Each structure stands twice: as structure tokens, then as C-alpha cells.
């Protein structure tokens, strides 16, 4: 792979060097943890929800520049959104917010959306609220792939 095929955008580098919402939330409403066994990236996302709105969101990520940048940007995209709005977040939203990712790093954007989905699943499950089908489906897919 040539250097030109593996170039990060300025936004990716900005989020990597100065990640937003880095850290852990004490007593979170939900936690989502996902990983990619092939590349070794692990993302843990914490959400705090009040009145169906994600009021606080933080992350801890072990991984490459793209993993850290996608974790950072998804926290910016989701903070202040309702649970329903957050559920609709796609990896394309993450990629577009970062002005693109190298093709070999697209999986990082998927991990960030999966971590968010798992945090939402965890929150809804703990609160005994109805879990939308797409969240249940994604959760079941992640459980199968992690075993």
C-alpha cells in the first residue's frame, strides 16, 4: 500500500491528536464495548441519558488513529440527541464528519457505531424500555461475532 492510499484527513488527525469526550462516566446509563479481533481495536462508549436525551457521552479506545478519531467524532455527533436520533447514526455519518477515511480503516467507523448501539441497548435493557428491532438485531450480530 502506498502512502497516498493511506492518508488521513485533517479532521481525522485533529480528533486523534485532541480527542473530544475522552474518559469514563461514573454511573453511566449505558455502556457499549466492541472490538475487532483482526486489528486489535477496542472501543468502550459510556452514555448518560436524561429525559430520553444523551446528555453526556465519553469513550475509552485502544487502537489506531482512525479508531480514536471515529470514537471522538461519534461522541460529538450524538451528544444532545435523543435516543431515537442516535439509533439512526450510521458509519457514513462518521466518515463524512471526518472528511473520509482510508478504505482499510472503514471498519473503525463501523466499530464506533456498534459501540454506540451497544451502549443504547444496555441503557434500554437496564431501564426495561422497548428496544427497537434494529438495535436488537445489531446486538445479536455482535454477540455472535464476539463468541
Nearest 10 degrees: Cα torsion 87, 90, 96, 98: 70
Could you tell me the pTM of the whole model?
0.93
**Beta strands 53-62; 30-35: pairing state:** unpaired
- Is 3.90.1300.10 the CATH number for 3-146? no
Asked whether 50 and 107 are in contact (CB, 8 A), the reply is: no
- Structure confidence by residue, pLDDT tens digits, 117-143: 999 999 999 999 999 999 999 999 887
Mean pLDDT of 101-118: 95
Domain ranges of the chain: 3-146
Options 67, 74, 83, 108, the catalytic residue: 108
Asked whether 80 and 96 are in contact (CB, 8 A), the reply is: no
Q: How far apart are CA 119 and CA 97, in angstroms?
A: 21
Q: How far apart are CA 8 and CA 56, in angstroms?
A: 28
- Structure confidence by residue, pLDDT tens digits, 47-104: 999 999 999 999 999 999 999 999 999 999 999 999 999 999 999 999 999 999 999 9
Q: Does the pLDDT at position 114 exceed 70?
A: yes
Options 13, 22, 39, 53, the catalytic residue: 39
Please say if 108 is a catalytic residue. yes
Please say if 64 is a catalytic residue. no
Amino acid at each position: 500500500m502506498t502512502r497516498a492510499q493511506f492518508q488521513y484527513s485533517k479532521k481525522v488527525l485533529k480528533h486523534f491528536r485532541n480527542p473530544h469526550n475522552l474518559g469514563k462516566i461514573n454511573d453511566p446509563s449505558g455502556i457499549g464495548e466492541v472490538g475487532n479481533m483482526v486489528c486489535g481495536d477496542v472501543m468502550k462508549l459510556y452514555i448518560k441519558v436524561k429525559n430520553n436525551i444523551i446528555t453526556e457521552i465519553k469513550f475509552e479506545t485502544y487502537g489506531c488513529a482512525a479508531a480514536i478519531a471515529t470514537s471522538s467524532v461519534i461522541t460529538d455527533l450524538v451528544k444532545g440527541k435523543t435516543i431515537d436520533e442516535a439509533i439512526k447514526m450510521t458509519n457514513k455519518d462518521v466518515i463524512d464528519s471526518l472528511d473520509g477515511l482510508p478504505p482499510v480503516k472503514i471498519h473503525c467507523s463501523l466499530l464506533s457505531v456498534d459501540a454506540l448501539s451497544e451502549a443504547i441497548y444496555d441503557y434500554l435493557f437496564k431501564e426495561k424500555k422497548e428496544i427497537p428491532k434494529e438495535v436488537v438485531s445489531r446486538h445479536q450480530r455482535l454477540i455472535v461475532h464476539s463468541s
